[in-house]
Amino acid sequence: MAIGAIDVIEAGTAFPSRRALHDARIHSPLQAGIAGGASVGAESIVLSGGYIDDEDYGDELIYTGHGGRDHTSGRQVADQEFTRQNQALVTSCLQGLPVRVIRGSGHQSAHSPSTGYRYDGLYWVDSYWKERGTHGFFVCRFRLVADPGLRGDVSERQIDGSGVPARRAETTILRVIRETYLGKRLKRMYDYRCQVCGTRLECQGGPYAEAAHIRPLGRPHDGPDRLENLLCLCPNHHVLFDKGALLIQDDFKLTDDVACLHVRRDHRIDQVHLQYHRSLWS
């Protein structure tokens, strides 16, 4: 088990075979596409063209989980679950662990090598969800984002309280919160109070809240940046909403079917987006 970079092997290094990847400890299993365990997280993934639902944009990947395929035809014949190797990628997301990404020539994207395999460095798991795949069954999906500075040390030398240089801190990204101009407008409408719990974080210098897109921005969801797709949430409820623990019904009742989202009259929320969000966690 090794999470993160392997010794001196740099991104871009070519390998002739799965055996060679195994020997270099870049990707240990000889067949499985995901290496790792549910509790420790994912070590590495191989993009080898096995799943037709994968999408490869180079620095951004929409990766399909493991399971539910017929061994002979390769067709999806059952739903995937967030268990075993799929859970490993969920754990990597929840804990901010980096994942090694390897592309194989069989992957057939513009970013694949022409022969063999190529180690393409570390990615972080930005989000995970479920959706109905091309063959009609639910598949687990993961958005991975490459970051060349992912494992960059935050400073050349870490100095401890006594002035003695300490070991350098290797940091990875756990979560990035993005903001749009409309998000700012929405937060003002709600006076920075969470629409779920009413919390207003009073910081030195002003209040703090986050604007959450119901149907996420960016690939593959491509949710719109419009008020009807936005919620004003405290960071805790933003995490719970993004990670599927907080679902909102069309009548704004929350997961427990008792509490209700606070919605201002001048804030029209589009039920279609709520339905999309719930569909990610069915």
Contacting residues toward a copy of itself, per CB under 8 A: 82, 87, 90-91, 93-97, 128, 154-155, 157-161, 166-182, 184, 187, 199, 201-208, 210, 215, 217-219, 222-226, 229, 234-236, 238-240, 243-245, 270, 272-273, 276, 281
Least separation in angstroms between residue 120's CB and a copy of itself is 18
Least separation in angstroms between residue 71's CB and a copy of itself is 27
Least separation in angstroms between residue 213's CB and a copy of itself is 8
Least separation in angstroms between residue 115's CB and a copy of itself is 31
Nearer to a copy of itself among residue 118 and residue 238 (C-beta) = 238
Nearer to a copy of itself among residue 22 and residue 200 (C-beta) = 200
Nearer to a copy of itself among residue 21 and residue 125 (C-beta) = 125
Least separation in angstroms between residue 143's CB and a copy of itself is 11
Nearer to a copy of itself among residue 53 and residue 81 (C-beta) = 81
Least separation in angstroms between residue 48's CB and a copy of itself is 25
Nearer to a copy of itself among residue 44 and residue 91 (C-beta) = 91
Nearer to a copy of itself among residue 137 and residue 276 (C-beta) = 276
**Structure token pair of residue 200:** 């207003």
Closest CA to 109 of 34, 42, 53, 29: 53
**Structure token pair of residue 171:** 């940091």
* The one-letter amino acid at 159: I
Say which residues have a Cβ less than 8 Å from residue 254's Cβ, sequence separation at least 6.
196, 246, 247, 248, 260, 261
The two beta strands, 98-104 and 60-64, are unpaired
Q: CA-CA distance, 69 to 31, in Å (whole number)?
A: 14
φ/ψ bin of 166: left (φ > 0), alpha (ψ from -120 to 50), beta (otherwise)? beta
Least separation in angstroms between residue 89's CB and a copy of itself is 9
- Cα–chain-centroid distance for residue 128? 5
Q: CA-CA distance, 29 to 12, in Å (whole number)?
A: 20
Nearer to a copy of itself among residue 15 and residue 190 (C-beta) = 190
Please report, for residues 62, 174, 184, the alpha-carbon distance to residue 94 in angstroms, rounded to integers and kept in the order given: 17, 7, 26
Q: CA-CA distance, 44 to 56, in Å (whole number)?
A: 16
Contact 24, 100 (CB under 8 A): no
Least separation in angstroms between residue 228's CB and a copy of itself is 9
Nearer to a copy of itself among residue 21 and residue 230 (C-beta) = 230
Contact 244, 255 (CB under 8 A): no
Q: CA-CA distance, 41 to 95, in Å (whole number)?
A: 8
